[in-house]
Amino acid sequence: MTIPLPRTGPARNEVQAHRGASAVAPENTIAAFRAAAEQGCKWVELDVALLKDGTAVVIHDASIDRCSSSRGKLGDMVAADLAGIDGGSWFSEAFRGEALPTLALAIDRLGELGLNVNVEIKQHAHHTSLAQLTETVHSHLRQRARHTEIIISSFDVEALKAMHRLDPSYELAMLWSELPGDWAEILTSIPATTIHLNYKALSFGLLEEASHRGIKVRAWTCNAPHLLVPFWGAGLAGVITDNPSLFLT
Ligand code: G3P
Ligand code: MG
């Protein structure tokens, strides 16, 4: 009889590059997605938000100030304003001229790279309509992501509920920095099958209860594999990391 050894790391298909391989390339750019693919990663996480004209863009913040050499709030910008913005040199001169991608461009490139995508829907103060945000994301995915596996994640319960109404087959992941006491009820209300939790808030109790309920748990944003070693054998499903290569050895 062979007794399986406890897992000491994630399955290859359960390593997600956070904002792309953002340790080695500017976050949420095609360069970061390409770097993830080059590391052998199968999934990227990206953040999506809307400009004033409804264009879906891949960016974490509500402004372009931190991740470009220009300044501006997403809520004041339209698609034409993205032209010529340098989203790379803030990270390294080697990436000067890297675009701030639209969601449309990102999905197309991810498809070409053979990468699956965890789309994190950001809910910013300048967004005037949750329906516009979620319907835009959904229509991009439906039209462009034909050969791409998809996870939808958000810190916003209502965004996940809206995505479920648009397509009940989406894998929905509730994002939490800390686990609320009523986490199971919240998941049921969406309904969602997955938790994406700050790795610092992981516990064996959660993993046991989640496993009992058929809920998948992934940890973000961990760049130190040894910190997660105790949790793989306890049922942790996956990791979201800036540096996938650390988990893909
Ligand atoms: O998907 C996990 C992670 O992206 C959540 O936090 O702020 O990096 O988008 P943040
Ligand atoms: Mg994110």
- Inside any domain, residue 4: no
Residue pLDDT, tens place only, 41-66: 999 999 999 999 999 999 999 999 99
Compute, in angstroms, the gap from residue 139 CA to the centroid of ligand 1. 23
- Inside any domain, residue 188: yes
Cα separation, 215 vs 212, whole angstroms: 8
Domain of residue 55, residue span: 15-246
- Confidence bin at 1 (pLDDT 50/70/90): low
Nearest protein CA to atom 7 of ligand 1, as residue: 60
Residue 2 pLDDT more than 80?
no
CATH of the domain at 20: 3.20.20.190
Nearest protein CA to atom 2 of ligand 1, as residue: 220
- pLDDT value at residue 42: 98
Percent of the chain with pLDDT over 70: 98
Compute, in angstroms, the gap from residue 220 CA to the centroid of ligand 2. 9
- pLDDT value at residue 249: 83
- pLDDT value at residue 147: 84
Look up the pTM and report it: 0.97
- Inside any domain, residue 7: no
Atom of ligand 1 nearest to the CA of 220: 2
Average pLDDT over residues 26-31: 98
- pLDDT value at residue 146: 83
% helix, strand, coil for the chain, step of 5? 35, 20, 45
User: How many angstroms from the chain centroid is the CA of residue 2?
Assistant: 37
- Inside any domain, residue 23: yes
Residue 125 pLDDT more than 80?
yes
Number of domains in the chain: 1
Structure tokens at 113: 């790279």
Ligand 1 site-directed mutation target among 15, 45, 66, most atoms within 8 Å of CB: 45
- Inside any domain, residue 9: no
| Three-class secondary structure of residue 205 per DSSP | helix
Compute, in angstroms, the gap from residue 1 CA to the centroid of ligand 2. 43
